[in-house]
Amino acid sequence: MPTYQNTYQNHVPGAPHPPSTSQHSFGVPGLNYSFAYSNCSGKRKALLIGINYIGQRGQLRGCINDVKNMSRFLQERFGYNPSDMVTLMDDQQHPKSQPTKQNILTAMHWLVKDAQPNDSLFFHYSGHGGQTKDLDGDEGDGYDETIYPVDFRHAGHIVDDEMHRIMVAPLKPGVRLTAIFDSCHSGSALDLPYLYSTSGKQKEPNLAKEAGQGLFSALQSYSRGDIGGVASSAFGLAKRLTTGRNAEERAMRTKTSPADVIQWSGSKDSQTSADATENGEATGAMSYAFIRALTKNPQQSYAQLLNSIRDELAGKYSQKPQLSCSHPLGNDGQPLDESEMEFQF
């Protein structure tokens, strides 16, 4: 196994620079926040979950392989110790190693327990994902994202609000949590309110798309002489725009964190993620692309890595991997592509 070296301490000339670990302040509507990046020099812990749903309807093929590949990658490339890693897979015999709902929730609590500044925590989920109606008004599209434990048919799914409450809300400034979701509808699976584009710019809610859809419906009603339909479409548009803005503001007020939390997801909330075959092995497309992109170039900025992951999938899969964070990326809220900070975990 290669000797681990912290790339923050062994910076390669020309590579992106590590972020400053001092406190950074920023504001959201009505509130001011501060956060601190991690230099990833402390304790490392990892929770890896792979569910093929063996023998069930909707069985997958690559999720268990994803966990095995990610485990090997973390140990060989980033110095994670097997004794500080928990793996839950549904091909295991021991009941505690099965990815049941209770075991997953227990393991999530273990992952973040006693985390200190500059610790590096890693969460990887490969399995089915879905959506359910949002009940607390923090989702612009009206739906929460979910993951499906192996026993979901009787135990139920796990909602993004609960995952955020367990794994993000308790973290102190300077604790790093990197989360990888290789599942359908996973764009905001950890409920992190800051979403970034491949150019490194923070994305705004797509209100223009909503407006276009509402206007199209109103014009259709008008062409049919349906004045009531025009009014209904206009009212629905106004409601969606208002609800979307309110949800985004609520998410920033309630889901922003002083910790250093990054999520990489296999798809937008509205998309599915592929259970694929690469190099003759069943694998999740996102897990494969993430490992391959960092293996080719371990020192990439956030924006570069997002582009690299998408490049690995381009031409083969329609899904668009997403990058989101618990706070604005970039030094003191500056655009990410100006600071070009190196991604590390």
For the question of residue 184 being annotated catalytic, the response is yes
- What is the C-alpha to C-alpha distance for residues 172 and 168, in angstroms, rounded to an integer? 9
- What is the C-alpha to C-alpha distance for residues 296 and 13, in angstroms, rounded to an integer? 17
For the question of residue 40 being annotated catalytic, the response is no
- Which of 24, 63, 124, 128 is an active site residue? 128
* Alpha carbon distance, N-terminus to C-terminus of the chain: 18
Asked whether the beta carbons of 53 and 111 are under 8 A apart, the reply is no
Bridge partners, residue 260, by sequence: 176
- What is the C-alpha to C-alpha distance for residues 238 and 232, in angstroms, rounded to an integer? 10
| Helical (H) or strand (E) element with 123 | strand 120-126
Asked whether the beta carbons of 135 and 79 are under 8 A apart, the reply is no
- What is the C-alpha to C-alpha distance for residues 317 and 242, in angstroms, rounded to an integer? 34
Residue 336 CA, chain-centre distance (Å), reads 17
Q: Determine the Cα angle at 323 with ends 157 and 31, to 5°.
A: 90
- Which of 184, 185, 325, 327 is an active site residue? 184
CA contacts within 13 A on the Cβ side of 295: 14
Residue 282, token pair as written in the block: 């069943």
Question: Which residues are the active-site residues?
Answer: 128, 184
